[in-house]
Amino acid sequence: MIIAVPLERAGARFCPARNEEEMKRIAIAILFGLVAGVLCATGGFNSGIMKFSVITLVWVLLNRAVMGFAIGASGLKLHWAWNGIVMGLTVGSIFSYSLFMNGGLGIIPLVNFFVNGLFGLMIEFFTTKVFKQPSPARAA
Let me know if residue 7 belongs to a domain: no
Identify the pLDDT of residue 73: 93
Residue 1 included in any domain: no
Per-residue confidence (pLDDT) for residue 14, from 0 to 100: 53
Let me know if residue 50 belongs to a domain: yes
Residue 6, in any domain of the structure: no
Is 60 within a domain?
A: yes
Domain span including residue 26: 19-132
Residue type, 64: R
In this structure, is residue 128 part of a structural domain? yes
Number of domains in the chain: 1
Whole-angstrom Cα Rg for the chain: 18
12 lies in a domain?
Answer: no
- What backbone phi and psi angles, to 5 degrees, belong to 73? -95, 0
pLDDT at 106: 85
Residue 30 CA to residue 45 CA, distance in Å, equals 22
Q: Is residue 13 part of a domain?
A: no
pLDDT in tens, the chain (140 residues): 555 545 554 555 555 556 888 899 999 999 999 999 999 999 999 999 889 999 999 999 999 999 999 999 998 999 999 999 999 999 999 988 988 888 888 898 899 999 999 999 999 999 999 999 988 776 55
